[in-house]
Structure 1
Amino acid sequence: MTRIAIIGGGNIGEALASGLVADTSGPAAGISAQDVIVVDPTAARLDHLHERYGVATTDDAVEAATEADIVVVAVKPYVVASVLDQISATLDANDTETVVVSVAAGVTLATIEASLAAGVPVVRVMPNTPMLVGKGMSAVVGGRFARAEQVEAVRAMMEAVGAAVVVGEKDMDAVTAVSGSGPAYIFLVAEAMVEAGVQLGLARPVAEQLAGATIEGAAAMLVAGEKSAFELRGNVTSPGGTTAAAVRGLEENGIRKAFYQAMEACARRSAELGRPRSDED
């Protein structure tokens, strides 16, 4: 039995709990609702999580961390240090070797390890919100004391809510820019497509359905992996055709530059979030 404590019952914490409980034949198979405990300070939130998923709940992080195999810290970046301070002594006293997993953007392995007793295995994860519908993309990196099998266990755990890959920590700010914040870019593109469709005469519900289904289908073709994004775009862009005219308009308006500058700003902000909070004040 693997006991998993999730500290933070917000969207990410709920999505992970839901995926773990629902995964009856995948990487998390064998983990029951009784094996998962979620921590949140709000009673109404705890009631919702228990009633909907059957997981155990508490407002006491120390209680949840006691003899847990994995502790997932799913709180805002500036709260991570205080959570680790609360549970550090408990983790050190556990008979079980507890793996600490952080899903907080920007908080480095060194920062997490500095808040814990020497030797505690730490794994850092950058998830994204499509995990709410089981289509998440997570990047996983192990700290100094995390063994390969522990990193793999965390990667498998994250596969309960989508796909997961192991990367180096030097890549995590770039990962945040590509996949962590990436869903927002796609939603913005969808907004723009819908608004353009309405301006061109479509009813809004029709424009929304067309944009959503188009993005879903295009994403499925890309994820299939048979062809690159460059090849897929080329296949639908006939010389002198309608798509070529549209792509030319996007290129002339600097779409590549806009995306690069946006993602560069995202990666920079991710790095800033890893600094002590006093640096931002």
Structure 2
Amino acid sequence: MDCKQFRNILEAADTLGVPAELKEHAATCVSCTRLLEAQERMSLGLEINRRAVRVPDLTARIMKRAAQEKPTSSDSSGWIERLVALVTPRTPFASSVFYVAAGVVIVALCHSIIDRGSELQDLRRHHAWRMVSTEGHISGMSPEAKTKGIAFGTRLDCEPGATANIELGERFRISLNGVKAVLASGQVDLESGSIEANIEHVPNGVPFLIKTPHADVTDIGTEFTVTVLDGSTTVSLRTGAVRITSASTHEARELKASEELTIGSAGFVQSRSPVSKDPATAPVSPDFRRIQPPDE
């Protein structure tokens, strides 16, 4: 055996059990003897390190501890597991029904979002309230108001008895009577006087807001009157529903058809009281005179 064969066999052999032929060759070759001794020392050191970090009974201890411990979870699954099990289809028919229902919900949500976006875009296309008719002296309007409309941010100051019919888009139509108010997009800031609103109801539509010193009146589709007089705001509802939020207490109430509510500087001062559905007999402020839209 030569030194090259010795090295090849030594690299492949287990140094803890060196073949006899390698020892015989190492006894006759000084360099191979040193190589064999170095290999044996390295292997011995690795074995010592393994024994130092290895727990002899680690596996047995883990298995014993796992067998002794009982599961902490109860037999009944949690509400999340029950919900998942409830909605998870178990048959082909149930799967079909589940996916059809999910598709209907997704389509309905998308349709609602698209409709809301379309209405917002429609409102953005209108940069002014359109003047339908006026009666009496109203300051604050430009001479071009009848042709170009009343721009957002315009403050109107109507003399007592002066009236105006205006509209925004296809949904918002309001009648102003003796008001001091600022017109905005889908909103009127009313300081005094009366506003009669006729808002077309559209599912998920953009709400209409009337802000007074005493309350915020939010409407999504109804006919109602808001009157600011003698330090209070009175809301008379004919059809639909409105949400009223007190400016001082931030308390919110919902007004239903044929009800009336008064809000003062300290909050709601009058409980809901019925009003007539007939516009001709509905109680309104003495300063308010119903305006009939002109015949077209």
TM-score (norm 1): 0.24
- Whichever structure has more strand as a proportion of its residues is 2
- Whichever structure has more helix as a proportion of its residues is 1
Greater RCO structure (CA 8 Å; 6+ sep)? 1
TM-score (norm 2): 0.23
